[in-house]
Structure 1
Amino acid sequence: MILDELVERVASLLPDPVDELQVAALLESQGITDQVAVDRYGRADVFALGQEVFERLPRGSVAVEDHSPGTTWLHAVRGPLYLVPTTVFPAVAAVLGGPAAVWAMVVATAVSWVWGSGASAVAHRLLSGGAAATAARSLRWLGAAGTAVAATTAAAVLGWRSALFVLALAGLQFAIGVLLFHREEVRLAVAVLPAGAGGVLFLVSEVVGIALVLGGVTVLLAVGGAWRAGRAARDSGGVRPPRASTLLGTALPSSVYAALCAILLLYTDSRYVLSALDLAVAAAPLVLGMGVVEWRAHRFFELATQELRRCALPADFHQAIWRGLLRELGFCLTALGAAALVLLVALRVSGVLTSPGALLIDGHVLLGGAFFLGFVLVRTSGPLPAPLIVSAALLGDVTAVALGADPVPAFLITCTALSIFLLVALRGSVGQVRHYR
């Protein structure tokens, strides 16, 4: 029967749906209108068709993405995998000169962060619609385009020597994003080992050439792995990817939000990359813990789905989901705080810890918590609230520094205020059932 074929198609795209409304939404996204429901399937409208398909779906028969604890915990190792290649940066700074290396790093990181967020949003949109092969292909080519944009920008602004470093760094960062999208953490760990060895070698012997060669090996391994990743993926039968304008609308909010977050972070951190050691490494706990932040954000929405099935009343769900949000926020802050404590102790024992350094490290811990809240707010409140809140925090930070405030305390206060504002915004949106259907 034609309806049986539709049920099979929906089952391949939407495992274990919450209710018939979620099925109806998927049908509409596949181009099935009320008129199609009447003419082709003999049902009154798309909602009636969605209800019948929902009742016929096999529960838990197909899994698009494994969210079991054995898989999602791998998000926690992503921070260290991002951090290892940065150990080669001192060798690069020795060649380019400190200020030029810092500006090159800022350009590569900013473009990769912003462009990569948009590319990731597009890929996830395609993947959720059953277009796995299209998602993988789009992510590869968007990453290549983003690398070209970063290198071209650097060549125009910083010169060709810096552009070579930006080309390598942006290519590596996009490759890391592709590998993590496909959950290739093991392959990525192998790829970053040469750069880690090169960084350690430079710190011990200050041999620049070998460190740069090993860093280049990491870039080649990561880019090669990313270009091969996802080649076995296939689009589901009958799936029509969204139009380019729709995908652009998906990418734009994520890119804008990422741009604001990048500016907020780099506005302060770029001042201290070549400063005193405790200030230069203040962002390390945040980088190490971003994998945990991402992991717990995913976990929060998994728990929300479970609570949606368990709670009989909206008020019960609202209370349960708010408690869950605070619990996951506490988990993130504890993990980031533990990494910060280890760093603080190491710096204190080494005799290089100062009050500004300690405050800057604390500020990054709070910023990690704010990033977690921002992830949740973007998914539960649409494209505007999170960017507006981050914009306000950024404006306050820039204004305070322009008026003569010390950048470190200003950054700490900004991160504190940002977390509070995000919590206030989430109080009104996170408990709404419609966000989890």
Structure 2
Amino acid sequence: MSGSLWLTPPGGSDTLTRIPRPPRQRPGWAAADPVDELARRLDDVIAQAVHPDEIAAILESDGMTDDHIRLTYGRPDSFALAEELYARVERRFPEPAGPPTDPWHTGLAGCVLRGLVFALPGLAYVLGAPLLAGPTGALGMPAGTVPLLAGAVTGWVWNQALSHRAYAWLGLGDRPAAARTLLTGAPVGALLGALVAVACAQPGQWSAVAFSAGQSLYLAAATVLLVLDREKSLFGALLPVTAGALAALWTDPPTAVRVALLLASLLAALALAGRALAVETAPGVPERTGHAAPRLPASLPYGLFGLGTGLLVLYTAIGDVLVYGPAAAVAAPSAVALTLSMGPAEWLLYRFRGESLAGLRASTSPRAFRRSTSGTLALCLSGYLTVLLVLAAAGTALVPGAPPLGGVRLLTLLLIGSVLWAALLLQSFGAVLSAATVCAVAAGAHTVALAAGLGDPRAVGVTVAGAAATVLGVLCCVLLGRATAHRH
């Protein structure tokens, strides 16, 4: 061991005692150690690091290659140099001049509003139920369900990828480019969803196809309004459907009234989306130039993420139908609770990011930081599952014909909720491909099991959701326990 002598203490003990060796004085003619100079230059940064990997990341971001480090500092790579710098500089965590800022702070009201606009479109199925009536088809669902769900899944995949590309333009500060992306992509997505519904339809299912086409148009308009921060406008557009669906739960409005209310919300959403795009692309709106366009392949994992998570939510409703009959499809309190909970879930994601940064400032070792992060993760996930449980219980109590909440159904709901929240958390840290792959594989396994009739549907749901939740939990612990993951 350099820098110390290992001696046997008096008395014949076999225990070794470490006696520090006085530092050697460098001869006056010797050249300065370049590692000492680098340590002095990066002193403040090194002193605040809780792990050598943070220093290695800084060295690499400064353009230091392994070849440069070997030639200049005589160390094999950036990690070896980082470990030596970490050992040479004493840990210091100076308090900021003012109260620490939380870049991840966000208001709960805005997140709740987003949760509402995610969930309220589901009321269109309640209002439009007579349009979807017909002979029982696959899995005990009404015959028009297949084209309807095929169009919906297509829209989820397309609009998730489209949203990511538009947000990438917004991240570059180019709102007109983001608006043009939506102006081009949203109509294509609506057309694609309608065509898929037509392709999956059987004779006599054209009312369901018409409903699916309207659904595709709505998804396109909603994507535009959500990306461009027009949640309040979208909420206003959904009021006719909301009022009609609530009335339809206890009364039986005429079909003409149902269609009129559905069209009112659809046309309002389309008009508001068109107006938002016109404002963002109007002549004179400043544009940023000189930056490269976002890469198209970067948006593909988000489409896969939309496919996996959308199908998992969908299967909660299908599971209710398989066990409790087609009437459960109208109530679907599990699916409604999951979509409503996305608002609080988003707020808790922000809270996790904020509390993790606070833990990063307060921790003085990697172990302390992992312990702090694990506690924050458990607290936020527990909070989300509590909200989900309350929403599901309220929906079960208030909606006529809702299946009872308990046992396997409750366990499946909580496991699916854990999957969704953990996947969204990984996505927020840039690990979208891992999260999307797990969700897509889980959804694919569930699809195969349902199509092949493998076992009890409830047991299949619990098994698939439990496996996905376990894998995502491990990924969260591995990724989020590293301090470097929280430096952006």
| TM value normalised by structure 1 | 0.75
1:221 deviates by: 0.9
Tell me, yes or no, if the aligned pair for 1:201 and 1:207 is still in contact at 8 Å.
no
Distance 2:336 2:478 in 1: 33
Distance 1:351 1:200 in 2: 14
Greater helix proportion: 1
Distance 2:154 2:275 in 1: 23
Which residue of structure 2 lines up, in the alignment, with residue 184 of structure 1?
A: 230
* DSSP-derived class of the 1:143 partner: helix
1:240 pairs with one of 291, 301, 311: 291
CA deviation map 1:221-250 (0-9, x unaligned): 11221222263485564442425xx1x122
Which residue of structure 2 lines up, in the alignment, with residue 418 of structure 1?
A: 468
Tell me, yes or no, if the aligned pair for 1:154 and 1:160 is still in contact at 8 Å.
no
Q: What does 1:91-170 align with in structure 2 at a 5 Å threshold?
A: 91-98=127-134, 99-158=142-201, 161-170=207-216
User: Is the aligned partner of 1:275 residue 2:326?
Assistant: yes
User: Is the aligned partner of 1:205 residue 2:288?
Assistant: no
User: Is the aligned partner of 1:83 residue 2:119?
Assistant: yes
Which residue of structure 2 lines up, in the alignment, with residue 427 of structure 1?
A: 477
Q: What does 1:10-409 align with in structure 2 at a 5 Å threshold?
A: 68-70=105-107, 73-98=109-134, 99-158=142-201, 161-203=207-249, 204-229=251-276, 231-232=279-280, 237-242=288-293, 246=295, 248-267=296-315, 269-270=317-318, 272=320, 275-277=326-328, 280-346=332-398, 353-354=403-404, 359-380=408-429, 382-394=431-443, 396-398=445-447, 401=450, 402=452, 404-409=454-459
Tell me, yes or no, if the aligned pair for 1:396 and 1:414 is still in contact at 8 Å.
yes
Q: 1:307 to 1:366 in 2, by over 3 A?
A: same
Paired residues, number = 378
| TM value normalised by structure 2 | 0.68
Q: 1:352 to 1:242 in 2, by over 3 A?
A: closer
The residue identity in structure 2 corresponding to 1:377 is: L
- Farther-moved stretch of structure 1 (249-258 vs 384-393): 384-393
Structure whose alpha-carbon radius of gyration is higher: 2
1:374 deviates by: 0.6
Distance 1:409 1:335 in 2: 24
Which residue of structure 2 lines up, in the alignment, with residue 10 of structure 1?
A: none
CA deviation map 1:291-312 (0-9, x unaligned): 2222322332343344444545
* DSSP-derived class of the 2:334 partner: coil
Tell me, yes or no, if the aligned pair for 1:127 and 1:135 is still in contact at 8 Å.
yes
Q: Percent identity?
A: 24
Structure 2: runs of 5 or more not aligned: 1-53, 64-96, 135-141
Tell me, yes or no, if the aligned pair for 1:175 and 1:222 is still in contact at 8 Å.
yes
Distance 1:394 1:284 in 2: 19
The residue identity in structure 2 corresponding to 1:255 is: G
- Farther-moved stretch of structure 1 (126-135 vs 381-390): 381-390
Distance 1:66 1:148 in 2: 39
Distance 2:395 2:407 in 1: 10
1:146 deviates by: 0.6
Distance 2:287 2:246 in 1: 46
* DSSP-derived class of the 1:141 partner: helix
1:393 deviates by: 3.1
1:333 deviates by: 0.5
CA deviation map 1:127-173 (0-9, x unaligned): 11222221233124322211111012222332654332222112212
Tell me, yes or no, if the aligned pair for 1:340 and 1:365 is still in contact at 8 Å.
no
